[in-house]
Amino acid sequence: MAEEQGNNGAPEDNPVFRMQKMYIKDFSFENPNAPEVYQSQNQEPKVEVNLKLNNKKLDDDHWEVSLQITAKIVDKGNNDKTMFIMEIEHAAAFLLKNIPGEHLEMVLGVDCPTLLFPFTRQIVSQISVDGGFIPFLMEPINFMALYQNSKQKEAEKQN
């Protein structure tokens, strides 16, 4: 019997990787020292950013990948007053079909967040502007390096 073919003539068992939906799961913006904080904004604020990557299987072919980011911006020139604190959990549902098991962890830890992060970065930048500050542009993140470091630490723990 002939092998099943998809719409483009490719076999049905080819790997499929596609972001299907992005959404904000949780969001918080705090501006605890307004309006005083606007009167003496330092050009070089202290920035603390924490990132956590989560994923969970939704069904046989769908996974949710989320970025949890907490950013605290402090005015060093104004007695370390907090300018703003932002927390976001931005997620996406991905269709991951026929991905070989040995590659799934890397797809979830590198490829999915690499696709999602630019949109998360844009949301964070826009909200900082809406909160009365200059755009807060997070540095690009090398998810491959983070993944490799994580794997190296795991290997060192096991030895």
Q: Residue 47 maps to which CATH number?
A: 3.10.420.10
- pLDDT of 4 strictly over 70: no
10 assigned to some structural domain:
no
- The pLDDT confidence band at residue 1, using thresholds 50, 70 and 90, is very low
7 assigned to some structural domain:
no
| Predicted model pTM | 0.85
The confidence score (pLDDT) of residue 41 equals 62
pLDDT digits (tens, 9 = 90+) for 63-105: 999 999 999 999 887 778 899 999 999 999 999 999 999 999 9
pLDDT digits (tens, 9 = 90+) for 15-54: 999 999 999 999 999 999 999 888 876 667 899 999 999 9
- pLDDT of 8 strictly over 70: no
Dmax of the chain from CA atoms?
Answer: 76
5 assigned to some structural domain:
no
The residue length of the chain stands at 159
Sheet holding 81-97, edge to edge: 16-30, 81-97, 62-75, 46-57
**How many CB atoms are located within 10 Å of the residue 71 CB?**
19
**In the beta sheet, which residues pair with residue 81?**
75
- pLDDT of 59 strictly over 60: yes
Beta-strand (E) ranges in 11-154?
16-30, 46-57, 62-75, 81-97
- pLDDT of 157 strictly over 90: no
The count of structural domains within the chain is 1
Segments forming the whole domain that contains residue 127: 16-154
- Dist. CA 87–CA 114, nearest whole Å: 19
93 assigned to some structural domain:
yes
